[in-house]
Amino acid sequence: MKKITLFFLIGIYFSRIILAEGPVKLAIVAGMNINKYSSSVFSSHVGFHVGGKTEIVLSKGLYCETGVLLSLKGGKSDWGSAGSISLNPYYLEVPVKVGYKYAINDSFKVFGKFGPYFSFGLFGKEIDSSGPGDTQTYNVFSDQDALKRFDAGVGLNLGFEIKNRFQISIGNDWGFLPVYDSSGTSIDLGAGSKNSNLTISLSYLF
């Protein structure tokens, strides 16, 4: 709990500094996640992210971005007739990134951004199937084999902006913290398994 509080206070602190630096643009964001745990046990999992963000101009071309997203990550392991396990965790995610935009012309810009993210697990399901007609569902954060609620890491995004309104970007987030609570008994994501999340995002700036 102390780690969670510390990371969120750091995020709030930097956001307050940034907000004092220059003009602010608001945006809505939505896109696709392709999440993969750093373990051979689970395959990649397709999810989504949706929310809002702010862009704060620091100087010509240079800006800082922060926001709040609802993000579905997870993974799946399928053993055919032996059964399957699916993890579907939803996170509240706060990215804080510094970026740079380069104007090709008045209507088209390219950009890159990099920085940390902080996530807190809200809810989600673990679906276990040992065969046809035998399926059990658990809370992915609080029942058996629970995932840890807190995650943090860094992300890198590249994209382009059209007419100062529409953005399309692709990126990846690399988690720093193990996601699995090893006190569980039946699932083993592997020691130190972390999130790696490929993202494709669409944004509209107001």
The domain ranges of the chain are 2-205
pLDDT lower than 50: segments of the chain: 13, 17, 19-20, 185
Q: Give the integer Cα–Cα distance in Å for 96 and 204.
A: 18
How confident is the model at residue 5, as a pLDDT? 54
Q: What is the pLDDT of residue 39?
A: 78
pTM passes above 0.85: no
* pLDDT (0 to 100) of residue 179: 87
The two structure tokens encoding residue 66: 């922060």
Backbone φ and ψ of 82, nearest 5° = -80, -10
Cα separation values, 76 from 30, 41, 125, 186, 189, Å = 23, 8, 12, 14, 11
Q: Which residues on adjacent β-strands are paired with residue 158?
A: 112, 170
CATH of 2-205, one of 2.40.50.140, 2.40.160.20, 3.40.630.30, 2.40.50.1070: 2.40.160.20
Each residue's pLDDT tens digit, 68-123: 999 999 988 877 666 778 889 999 999 999 999 999 999 999 999 999 999 999 99
Q: Given this model, what pLDDT does residue 23 score?
A: 85
Report the run of H or E that residue 10 belongs to, with start and end: helix 2-19
Predicted pLDDT of residue 185: 45
